[in-house]
Amino acid sequence: MQYRPTSIKLAVRSFLRVYADRAGIQQNQGFFIMPKRKSDTKLQEDGEPASKKKVTAEEGTKVPVEDKKVDNGTSAETNFAPTDKKTPDGRSSNLKVSAWNIAGLRAWMKKGCLSYISKEDADIYILQETKIPSDKVPKEAKVDGYFTYWNDSKEKAGYAGTALYSKEKPINVTFGIGVDKHDKEGRVITAEYEKYYVVGAYIPNSGRGLVRLDYRQEWDADFLTFLKGLDAKKPVIFCGDLNVAHQEIDLKNPKTNKNKTAGFTDQERDGFTKLLNEGFVDSFRHLYPDKKDMYSYWTYMGNCRAKNVGWRLDYFVLSKALVPNLCESTMRSNVMGSDHCPIILELAI
């Protein structure tokens, strides 16, 4: 039996009308209009998602209205001035450090986010996931008044990578942790100053299906040895995307992610606990032990950032010797440009 073109068109239109009725899609002058996603859509967020998947979880707390966002690394509502908070003995901060997983230098710069460096006016910046070979860094990435250093992935171009911007020229800058199998992806950059070390790190993700969890545990053990070696010489400021939500309070949906999603397994959390037990302090939780809904990462899926369905994956960790110098540790959750936001540390050194 043969079908005329007109009959085929009519059959297709009939099918589309039935499908539209079932899916709740409105029709307007022959066009099908997809409905807006309902505000109570439930999503489970992933650690560093590689693909979309159907999941269920609890809806997040919406970001406060005053935290309006712009996509160029700045926000009119953000006060970038040094904090007025002081150390317990009354000293004001004189050192500001910023860390940000920028999810690719080229894309970050195209959004105008390099302006964040001048707006924040930090003394030191640690960028993670720069995704660029050091010899391909555009000259525009140079910022007046800062010395810059780049550690890139040696095995896979356009992957991982870290960078350092510093107003003061460090005594020394080194790449990696001295373990060959860990030092091929440009994940660690260390700057030595007179009174302290700054270590910037992009810790390996355990991956979809936790395929790299065993490797992650090896990394955590070797990295702790590296940090302890530095701490034996002078205090350490360790920061970056650590790819772990340490406590249930550090992600919106702990129950649906526990031991299923990279960043919230017992092994990863225990690794961070061990680090803290070896003489280091989570600066944010030291100041705000019970503060909820404070995150530094949101998946792009499901409008999670607007609903504040997030994870606290980014940290400033301090040697205990620096805790008396701590003035502030916080997140710039209203600064856009990546799926992570910048985090800030202020010390009186």
Which residues face 134 on adjacent strands? Answer: none
Q: Select which of 149, 197, 202, 295 is catalytic.
A: 202
Q: For residue 19, indicate whether it is catalytic.
A: no
Ligand-binding annotation for 253, yes or no, is: no
**For residue 131, which of 103, 100, 111 has the smallest C-alpha distance?**
103
Exactly one of 241, 250, 282, 314 is catalytic; name it: 241
Distance CA(242)–CA(271), nearest Å, equals: 11
340 is in an annotated binding site: yes
* Distance of alpha carbon 146 from alpha carbon 114, whole angstroms: 13
Active site residue 340: yes
The answer to whether 129 is annotated as binding is yes
Burial of 299 from C-beta contacts in 10 A (0-12 / 13-18 / 19+): buried
Q: Is 21 annotated as a binding residue?
A: no
Residue 200's Cβ-count burial label (10 Å; 0-12, 13-18, 19+) is buried
Query: Is position 243 annotated in a ligand binding site?
Result: yes
Which residue is catalytic, options 146, 149, 297, 340? 340
Distance in angstroms (rounded) separating the CA atoms of residues 187 and 164: 12
Asked if 298 and 308 touch (Cβ cutoff 8 Å), the reply is yes
Residue pair 268/48 in contact by the 8 Å Cβ criterion:
no
CB 117 within 8 A of CB 145: no
138 CB-near residues (< 8 Å, 6+ apart)? 106, 109
Type of residue found at 32: F
**Residue 241 assigned ligand-binding role:** yes
| Residues tagged in the binding site annotation | 101, 129, 241, 243, 339-340
| Residues tagged in the binding site annotation for Mg(2+) | 101, 129, 241, 243, 339-340
Residues marked as catalytic: 202, 241, 340
